């Protein structure tokens, strides 16, 4: 079902919204219509500029939040189709609320508004089919009515929602809708996933009071979503205020400093008696809420966990409870940041489609969730937003944020690599070549841009070192041993590895797609980059002049080094890790790979010491201090639970819900449990556990296109046992810790050996 061409874009051109850094009042559109016979079926096709919700005869239609979804609106605007046959009566009233959302409301840390339009607008058709066969389409036109003084007074993605339940619908003063000419000309495309919905419903684990006397609820879990309030004995006009935060401050009050300008506040003005309410046009990232304006006995709160329609397909567990919690935290951060687009964080005035975060996390995501639809939708925007010179904007949908000082048309290493890394991760998990095919030209343009920047102003081998000024890169972003400037100073190393990895991956992809000329060309190019890294950036000796973990991890993981240089780099890395007391020292680019480099090169013991380390900075430090999601900064909380950033100026970068360093999840599946695809889509896969420390058993499962794969190993006394479920149509290579190998096909298989 699609638009039949009967609808016109409508709005209210008398509505002037001049507020800066805020969102407009929601618009309320109304259409009354009567039926002219018995209805066989009825559908609504709808989209909006802004985010909308339909109510037909007083009932919400569908269960999606934030329709039409978030896309690069200048290029694509999704529409939804709803079956409304069962909602219809003889006389009908359709109400559509359209809030500012991402298109018109305030968005990005500069709180700019009206990115895609000056005011909200609606495009909708009601398709009626009568039993007698007659068909009728009612489209939005100037007969529709509109007003801005409905019960939702304010709605802003960052600031929250204000609702006055005392406002009575029949008293609203509607006026005629006006035709609207959109500033943008997006292609209308049907929504291919189910959009954002309520998944889990959480109940608080404790209720108490803050020192200042506010009711304080702890959900025991940091997440993205909204509260649901069940209120009783309310007085007409009684005002309830709910504030949200991820952590408490040192005074025991909500720490809202790290939300920066996001107010994350819900204000609800009650009508008399009992009622239920949850916000519909905003969401927050939070674990704690305070509630003011009502007694505890008159309110019951729940947390609606909101994220896109992504199926959980995998899990990892082992004998160590802290690692299990880490796995949980990784999954919670993923869910919290899969809200329409892959975001960086769900709480502060950001929530942008930062490309680097998903670039490094995509592989872990694909073990845990079916990412295909979600990422294909977003990658369509990435392609649409690709810059004329081939660079990828740092956030997609693009808002052209100018930090680092990237000229508009530059390419940024690792962040832009997403155009290869995300499709590759999905391809590995699903075996579906379509995602490679549809992104291939964009990949080539991106790699071409990177090669161009590397070549610029240099000669000889240096043309294969990507050396544009540090301030144009993110470098070793969030490495715990430095600040912005230090991270960026490492960009020559990170960027050159990115140049290598994207070229060599593109060569593989070209091979898969049967393009042998490209395959050869990118392979040769990448080999030269590898040699240059080794000769120039590792001084031909395998030793960095100024050492940092990522500088060794990356070339080792991507196989760029050989012989004595490789050996020296490995030894240097091991020394650095030991000197650092087995604490992590990597930023976004190195974090996903460090444990692989150690474990795959004879240092599984060092990898495990690092993985199991609870000293800050480490993954389990976050678990030990009570983290329930993955943090942006390794040291967001100190070992005693205090926040070293609390007294610093401004809200800075202290998100407690950033999945990037959760990329270690890939290691849990691929090495601790031992499962990895050998052929895309698991047609051939390997089970080769790397046991370590005092872990006595580990298991994982993932749903491959052929069916579920399950792996479990345990070590009891001196016997190592491994069980593998191999789906029909696949083949599994098993490698036991002794090195003994087997190849098995469909069935449940068990292997044993003496340790």
Please, what's the b/e burial string for 280-291 (b: 16 or more CB within 10 A of its CB; e: otherwise)?
bbbbbbbbbbbb
Nearer to ligand BGC, 102 or 277 (CB): 102
- Restricting to residues 574-603, name those near ligand BGC by CB under 6 A: none
Only one of the segments 137-145, 344-352, 372-380, 535-543 lies at the binding site for ligand BGC (rule: CB under 6 A); that segment is 344-352
Among 76, 354, 464, 525, binds ligand BGC (CB under 6 A): 354
Task: Give least dist CB 637 to ligand BGC, A.
Answer: 18
Q: Which stretch binds ligand BGC (CB under 6 A): 97-105, 147-155, 202-210, 354-362?
A: 354-362
Task: Give the nearest distance from C-beta 307 to ligand BGC in angstroms.
Answer: 18
Among the residue ranges 118-126, 262-270, 342-350, 499-507, the one whose residues contact ligand BGC (CB under 6 A): 342-350
Contact 416, 355 (CB under 8 A): yes
Minimal CA–CA distance to 622: which of 636, 609, 611, 601?
636
Q: Taking CB under 6 A as the rule, does residue 398 contact ligand BGC?
A: no
Q: Nearer to ligand BGC by C-beta: 120 or 655?
A: 655
Q: Find the binder of ligand BGC among 154, 159, 357, 699 (CB under 6 A).
A: 357
The one segment of 147-155, 350-358, 671-679, 727-735 that binds ligand BGC by CB under 6 A: 350-358
**Minimum Å distance from CB 19 to ligand BGC?**
25
DSSP per position, 632-653? SSTTSS-TTS--TTTTSSS-TT
Is residue 344 a contact point for ligand BGC (CB under 6 A)?
yes
Residue 406: how many other CB atoms lie within 10 Å: 23
CB of 404 to ligand BGC, least distance (A): 7
Q: How far is the CB of 573 from ligand BGC (least distance, A)?
A: 24
Q: Please give the C-alpha separations between residue 259 and each of 404, 432, 690, in angstroms, as whole numbers.
A: 22, 39, 40
**Is the C-alpha dihedral spanning 420, 338, 665, 719 positive or negative?**
negative
Residues 281-320 that bind ligand BGC (CB under 6 A): none
**In this chain, which stretch among 152-160, 215-223, 349-357, 422-430 interacts with ligand BGC, using CB under 6 A?**
349-357
Output the 3-class SS for 527-585. HHHHHHHHHHHCCCCCCCCCCCHHHHHHHHHCCCCCHHHHHHHHHHHHHHHHHCCCCCC
350 binds ligand BGC (CB under 6 A): yes
Contact 450, 502 (CB under 8 A): yes
Residue 318: CB minimum distance to ligand BGC, A: 28
Q: Which of 314, 346, 356, 475 binds ligand BGC (CB under 6 A)?
A: 356
414 is a site residue for ligand BGC (CB under 6 A)? no
Q: CB 393 → ligand BGC: shortest distance, Å? A: 12
Q: Determine the interface stretch with ligand BGC among 12-20, 228-236, 324-332, 343-351 (rule: CB under 6 A).
A: 343-351
CB closer to ligand BGC, 67 vs 259: 259
Q: Which is nearer to ligand BGC, 369 or 659 (CB)?
A: 659
C-beta of 354 vs 558, nearer to ligand BGC: 354
| Beta strand 51-56 pairing with 59-60 | antiparallel
Choosing from 44, 345, 398, 599, the residue that interacts with ligand BGC (CB under 6 A) is 345
Q: How many C-beta neighbours within 10 Å does residue 536 have?
A: 17
Closest-CA residue to 734 (of 694, 696, 688) = 688
Residues between 657 and 716 with contacts to ligand BGC, criterion CB under 6 A: 658
Q: Which of 283, 354 has the CB closer to ligand BGC? A: 354
Q: C-alpha dihedral over 493, 499, 502, 505, to 10 degrees?
A: -90
Contact region for ligand BGC (CB under 6 A) — 270-278, 348-356, 520-528, 697-705?
A: 348-356
Q: Omega of the bond prior to 516 within 30 degrees of 0, cis?
A: no
For ligand BGC, the closer CB: 80 or 501 = 501
In the region spanning residues 477 to 506, those forming contacts with ligand BGC, defined by CB under 6 A, are: 477
Residue placing its CB nearer to ligand BGC in the complex, 40 or 489: 489
Pairing of strands 160-164, 284-292: unpaired
653 makes contact with ligand BGC (CB under 6 A)? yes
- As measured in angstroms, the least distance from the Cβ of 447 to ligand BGC is 21
Query: Among residues 555 and 651, whose Cβ is nearest to ligand BGC?
Result: 651
Closest CA to 53 of 161, 173, 212: 161
Is residue 43 classed as helix, strand or coil in its secondary structure? strand
Q: With CB under 6 A as the rule, give the number of residues binding ligand BGC.
A: 10
Could you tell me which residues come within 8 angstroms of residue 738 by beta carbon, excluding any fewer than 6 positions away? 753
Is the Cβ–Cβ distance between 662 and 333 less than 8 Å? yes
- Nearest approach in angstroms of CB 381 to ligand BGC is 17
Residue 255 vs 406, nearer CB to ligand BGC: 406
385 sits near ligand BGC (criterion: CB under 6 A) = no
Inter-CA distances, 127 with 7, 29, 138, 445, 646, Å: 11, 18, 7, 43, 55
Nearer to ligand BGC, 225 or 475 (CB): 475
SS3 assignment, position 714: strand
Looking at the Cβ atoms of 256 and 412, the one nearer to ligand BGC is: 412
Bridge partners (DSSP) listed for residue 46: 80, 124
Least gap, CB of 356 to ligand BGC (angstroms):
4
For ligand BGC, which is the closer residue by CB, 87 or 415?
A: 415
C-beta of 64 vs 394, nearer to ligand BGC = 394
Q: Tell me the three state secondary structure of residue 154.
A: strand
- C-alpha to C-alpha distances, 555 to 203, 421, 502, nearest whole angstrom: 46, 17, 13
- For residue 327, the minimal CB distance to ligand BGC (Å) is 21
| Beta-carbon contacts of residue 120 (< 8 Å; ≥ 6 apart) | 11, 24, 26, 27, 48, 49, 50, 98, 99, 100, 103, 104
Nearer Cβ to ligand BGC (69/356): 356
For the bound state, the minimum distance from the C-beta of residue 109 to ligand BGC, rounded and expressed in Å, comes to: 8
Buried b (16+ CB within 10 A) or exposed e, 137-169: bbbbeeebbbbbebbbbbbbbbbbbbbbbeeee
**Least CB distance to ligand BGC at residue 48 (A):** 28
User: Which is nearer to ligand BGC, 50 or 356 (by Cβ)?
Assistant: 356
Question: Nearer Cβ to ligand BGC, position 190 or 485?
Answer: 485
CA proximity to 259, closest of 755, 530, 655: 655
**Least distance from ligand BGC to the Cβ atom of residue 350, Å:** 5
Site string for ligand BGC, 440-479 (x = CB under 6 A): ----------------------------------x--x--
For residue 725, give the H/E element and its range. strand 719-735
Measured from the Cβ of residue 58, the count of other Cβ atoms closer than 10 Å reads 9
Residue 184 neighbours by CB distance under 10 Å: 14
CA–CA distance, 322 with 554 (Å, rounded to integer): 27
CB of 588 to ligand BGC, least distance (A): 7
Sites of contact with ligand BGC (CB under 6 A): 344-345, 350, 354, 356-357, 474, 477, 653, 658
């Amino acid at each position: 079902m699609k638009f039949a061409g009967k609808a016109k874009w409508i709005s209210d051109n008398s509505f002037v919204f001049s507020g800066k850094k805020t969102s407009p009042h929601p618009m309320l559109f109304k259409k009354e219509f009567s039926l002219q016979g018995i209805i066989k079926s009825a559908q609504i096709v709808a989209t909006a500029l802004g985010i909308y919700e339909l109510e037909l005869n007083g009932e919400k239609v569908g269960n999606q939040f934030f329709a039409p979804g978030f896309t690069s609106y200048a290029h694509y605007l999704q529409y939804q189709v709803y079956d409304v046959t069962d909602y219809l009566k003889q006389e009908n009233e359709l109400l559509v609320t359209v809030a500012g959302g991402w298109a018109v409301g305030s968005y990005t840390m500069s709180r700019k508004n009206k990115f895609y339009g000056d005011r909200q607008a609606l495009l909708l058709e009601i398709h009626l089919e009568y039993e007698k066969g007659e068909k009728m389409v009612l489209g939005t036109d100037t007969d529709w009515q509109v007003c801005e003084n409905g019960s939702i007074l304010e709605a802003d993605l960052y600031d929250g929602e204000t609702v006055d339940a005392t406002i009575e619908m029949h008293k609203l003063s509607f006026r005629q809708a006006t035709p609207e000419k959109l500033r943008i000309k997006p292609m209308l495309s049907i929504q291919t996933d189910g959009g954002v919905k309520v998944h889990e419903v959480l109940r608080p684990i404790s209720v108490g009071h803050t020192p200042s006397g506010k009711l304080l609820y702890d959900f025991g879990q940091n997440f993205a979503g909204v509260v649901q309030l069940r209120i009783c004995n309310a007085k007409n006009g009684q005002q309830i205020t709910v504030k949200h935060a991820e952590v408490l401050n040192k005074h025991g009050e909500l720490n809202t400093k790290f939300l920066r300008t996001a107010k994350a506040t819900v204000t609800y003005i009650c009508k008399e008696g009992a009622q239920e309410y949850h916000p519909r046009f905003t969401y927050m990232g939070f674990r704690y809420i305070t509630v003011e304006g009502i007694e505890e006995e008159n309110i019951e709160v729940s947390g609606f966990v909101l994220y896109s329609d992504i199926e959980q397909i995998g899990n990892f567990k082992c004998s160590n409870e802290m690692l299990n919690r880490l796995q949980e935290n990784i999954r919670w951060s993923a869910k919290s940041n899969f809200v329409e687009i892959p975001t960086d964080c769900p709480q502060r005035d950001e929530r942008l489609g930062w490309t680097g975060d998903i670039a490094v996390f995509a592989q872990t995501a694909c073990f845990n969730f079916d990412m295909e639809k979600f990422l294909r939708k977003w990658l369509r925007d990435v392609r649409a937003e690709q810059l004329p010179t081939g660079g990828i904007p740092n956030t997609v949908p693009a808002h052209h944020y100018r930090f680092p000082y990237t000229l508009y048309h530059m390419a940024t290493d690792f962040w832009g690599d997403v155009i290869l890394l995300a499709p590759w991760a999905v391809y590995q998990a699903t075996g579906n070549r379509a995602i490679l095919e549809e992104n291939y030209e964009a990949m080539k343009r991106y790699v071409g841009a990177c090669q161009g920047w590397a070549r610029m102003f240099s000669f000889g081998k240096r043309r294969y070192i990507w050396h544009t000024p540090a301030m144009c890169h993110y470098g070793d972003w969030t490495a715990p041993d430095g600040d912005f400037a230090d991270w960026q100073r490492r960009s020559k190393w990170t960027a050159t590895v990115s140049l290598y990895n994207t070229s060599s991956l593109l060569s593989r992809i070209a091979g898969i797609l049967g393009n042998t000329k490209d395959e050869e060309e990118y392979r040769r190019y990448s080999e030269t980059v590898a040699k240059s890294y080794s000769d120039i950036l590792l001084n031909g000796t395998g030793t960095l002049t100024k050492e940092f973990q990522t500088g060794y991890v990356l070339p080792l993981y991507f196989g760029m080094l050989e012989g004595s240089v490789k050996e020296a780099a490995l030894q240097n890395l091991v020394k650095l890790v030991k000197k650092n007391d087995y604490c992590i020292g990597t930023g976004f680019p190195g974090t996903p790979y460090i444990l692989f480099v150690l474990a795959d090169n004879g240092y599984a013991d060092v990898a495990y010491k690092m993985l199991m380390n609870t000293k800050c900075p480490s993954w389990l430090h976050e678990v030990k201090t009570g983290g329930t999601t993955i943090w942006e900064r390794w040291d967001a909380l100190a070992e005693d639970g205090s926040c070293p950033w609390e007294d610093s100026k401004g809200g800075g970068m202290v998100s407690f819900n950033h999945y990037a360093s959760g990329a270690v999840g890939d290691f849990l599946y691929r090495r601790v449990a031992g499962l990895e695809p050998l052929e895309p889509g698991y047609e051939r896969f390997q089970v080769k556990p790397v046991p370590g420390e005092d872990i006595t058993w580990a298991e994982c499962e993932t749903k491959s296109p052929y069916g579920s794969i399950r792996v479990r190993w345990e070590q009891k006394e001196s016997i190592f046992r491994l069980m593998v479920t191999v789906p029909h149509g696949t083949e599994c290579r098993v490698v036991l810790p002794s090195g003994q190998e087997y190849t098995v096909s469909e069935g449940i298989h068990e292997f044993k050996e003496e340790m």
